[in-house]
């Protein structure tokens, strides 16, 4: 069986989705339509699929003869478009984030609860064997009861986007809503709980791209407490080391040990309490090479998961219910910075 797909947003991310669904899915996905007003992006998409039908109206594409829609447009459009796709009786692959306000997150939850159509959120990291193995080691009791989860990402600035929308917090939701909802999602998954209290500090030091008050921050530190008592922390800086030397480190501290990523070698390092003097256990993971925009692990697998869910009714790892708190935590962190207070979720 093959399903017909339309694509709203065909920038670099959207074109990667066209490529993965149409050319690398063993015929299970057909890219048949795109919505864009950017002639260059349309031409690049047609290099991948010459026969694409082009719409300049999102609604016209959604109402056309499709089985599903892939939404890769700016974050502030996600919930509105997901609502329209579901109302049209079609499945939706919805890029993160799950909205840019807590009210939008609540609305997306209601939309998902009202339909039997697939709404799969684009948190591809959950689909990589690398990050799944951390979850499996936690569940197997390898580090005892988890007590802390963390992310440290020191990297270069955002890649340019059409109209600089990613730099405008009224369109992106802020640096962490666009960028770190990925990491918050994994931290929530590993903590196996919902974030309840969020404190954060941040600001704009280097990367001013647009004028006015809506420029996103470029560095922040976040602390959160989960309902089960686990503590989480994130440090993000967007004016540190540039690709390919950027630094992303994630991990979990349990009562009996520590797990830490070494993404450069696709290894998970494990220390057991009381054995810290020796070398860590290094779990070498056989994970698929990163493909597509951003080179994220799991990007190939998430497309397979969406097709499995739509065609075969298989469960997936990134439903709205599973992923909504990654966005909520990021929104709360941005709110804590702006309002200088602890935010309760």
Amino acid 278: pLDDT: 76
Q: Per residue in 98-109, pLDDT tens?
A: 999 999 999 999
Pairing of strands 29-35, 195-203: unpaired
- The interaxial angle of helices 320-339 and 181-191, nearest 10 deg, is 120
For the chain, give the mean pLDDT. Answer: 95
Amino acid 291: pLDDT: 62
Amino acid 162: pLDDT: 87
Q: Mean pLDDT across the stretch 154-170?
A: 94
pLDDT-based confidence at residue 247 (cuts at 50, 70, 90):
confident
All domains of the chain in start order, with CATH: 3-123+303-318 (3.40.50.720), 125-294+321-344 (3.30.360.10)
Amino acid 287: pLDDT: 84
Q: Is the pLDDT of residue 20 over 60?
A: yes
Q: Which residue has the higher pLDDT, 241 or 306?
A: 306
Amino acid 276: pLDDT: 63
**Distance between CA atoms of residues 124 and 291, nearest Å:** 11
Could you give the C-alpha distances from 208 to 40, 73, 162, 180, 214, in angstroms and in order?
Answer: 26, 22, 16, 19, 10
Q: Per residue in 123-152, pLDDT tens?
A: 999 999 999 999 999 999 999 999 999 999
Q: Mean pLDDT across the stretch 41-67?
A: 97
Q: Is the pLDDT of residue 163 over 80?
A: yes
pLDDT-based confidence at residue 296 (cuts at 50, 70, 90):
confident
Q: Where is mean pLDDT largest: 81-95, 231-245, 277-291?
A: 81-95
Q: Is the pLDDT of residue 293 over 60?
A: no
Amino acid 275: pLDDT: 76
Q: Which residues of 303-337 are buried (b: 16+ CB within 10 A; e: fewer)?
A: bbbbbbbbbeeeebbbebebbbbbbbbbbbbbbbb
Amino acid 323: pLDDT: 98
Q: Per residue in 254-276, pLDDT tens?
A: 999 999 999 888 999 999 988 76
| Nearest CA-CA partner of 148 in 138, 158, 136 | 138
Q: Is the pLDDT of residue 48 over 90?
A: yes
Q: Is the pLDDT of residue 243 over 80?
A: no
Q: Mean pLDDT across the stretch 39-66?
A: 97
User: Do residues 146 and 229 lie in contact, with contact meaning Cβ atoms separated by under 8 Å?
Assistant: no
Amino acid 289: pLDDT: 67
């Amino acid at each position: 069986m093959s399903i017909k797909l339309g694509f709203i947003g065909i920038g670099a991310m959207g074109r990667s989705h066209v490529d993965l669904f149409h050319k690398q899915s063993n015929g299970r996905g057909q890219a048949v339509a795109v919505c864009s007003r950017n002639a260059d992006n349309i031409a690049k998409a047609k290099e991948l699929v010459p026969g694409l039908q082009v719409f300049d109206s999102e609604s016209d594409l959604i109402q056309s003869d499709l089985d599903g829609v892939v939404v890769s447009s700016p974050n502030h459009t996600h919930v509105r478009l997901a609502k329209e796709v579901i109302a049209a009786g079609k499945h939706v692959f919805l890029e993160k984030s799950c909205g840019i306000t807590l009210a939008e997150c609540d609305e997306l939850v209601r939309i998902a609860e009202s339909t039997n159509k697939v709404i799969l959120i684009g948190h591809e990291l959950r689909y990589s064997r690398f990050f799944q193995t951390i979850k499996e080691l936690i569940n197997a009791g390898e580090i005892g009861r988890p007590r802390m989860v963390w992310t440290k990402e020191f990297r270069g600035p955002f890649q340019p986007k059409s109209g600089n929308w990613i730099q405008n917090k009224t369109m992106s939701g802020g640096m962490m809503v666009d960028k770190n909802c990925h990491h918050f999602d994994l931290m929530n998954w590993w903590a196996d709980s919902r974030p309840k209290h969020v404190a954060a500090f941040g600001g704009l030091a280097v990367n001013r791209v647009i004028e006015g008050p809506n420029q996103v921050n470029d560095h922040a530190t976040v602390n959160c407490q989960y309902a089960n008592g686990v503590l989480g922390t994130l440090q993000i800086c967007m004016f540190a080391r540039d690709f390919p030397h950027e630094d992303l480190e994630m991990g979990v501290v349990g009562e009996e040990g520590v797990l830490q990523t070494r993404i450069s070698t696709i290894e998970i390092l494990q220390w057991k309490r009381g054995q810290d003097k020796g070398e860590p256990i290094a779990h070498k993971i056989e994970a698929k090479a990163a493909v597509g925009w951003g080179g994220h692990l799991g990007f190939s697998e998430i497309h397979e998961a969406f097709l499995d869910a739509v065609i075969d009714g298989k469960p997936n790892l990134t439903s709205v219910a599973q992923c909504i708190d990654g966005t909520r935590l990021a929104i709360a962190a941005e709110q804590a910075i702006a309002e200088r207070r602890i935010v309760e979720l």
